[in-house]
Amino acid sequence: MNKKLEKQDICEFMSNFYDWLIKITRKDYDELKFKKYEDFYEYYKQVEQVFIKKKQEIGANVNIIRLNIDSIERLKVIIDITKDEYKELRATDEKDIIYFNTLLGWYEGISSEIDMCINSLLNK
């Protein structure tokens, strides 16, 4: 696979990942509204805005562009693990205030974890 294609693929992959995060954040926000957990509204909207901004910055993220093919594959595995974590969180039967607080913490940590992962992969 040529390098230019690799870089386009990882940018598209990351864009799709942030699209997924935006979609699930909105879905969870709608569920919050249904349950009337008003204390969380603002925080979930802030998280959504972070994901939107991250998606917009993907093409300009020099670190993503500098990843080699092995690092790209590792990043994809980490993204898949992140998606599995969400599935496990969603499997909770009781969607109460504790659940939404836990989910908010998970959302808030994703961007920094992904950035830290990318930086770590660059330094290998």
Cα separation, 3 vs 31, in Å, equals 42
**pLDDT at site 60:** 77
Centre a 10 Å sphere on the Cβ of residue 10 and count the other Cβ atoms it contains: 22
Of 51, 54, 43, 48, nearest to 100 by C-alpha is 43
Q: At what angle do helices 97-122 and 69-90 cross, to 10 degrees?
A: 170
Cα separation, 89 vs 92, in Å, equals 6
Q: Are 15 and 53 in contact (CB under 8 A)?
A: no
Question: Within its chain, how far is the Cα of 30 from the centroid?
Answer: 18
**pLDDT at site 32:** 94
**pLDDT at site 106:** 95
Residue 117: give the domain boundaries. 3-122
Q: How many folded domains does the chain comprise?
A: 1
**pLDDT at site 59:** 76
The whole-number mean pLDDT for each consecutive block of 10 residues of the chain, a chain of 124 residues, reads 61 93 97 93 95 89 83 91 95 91 94 90 81
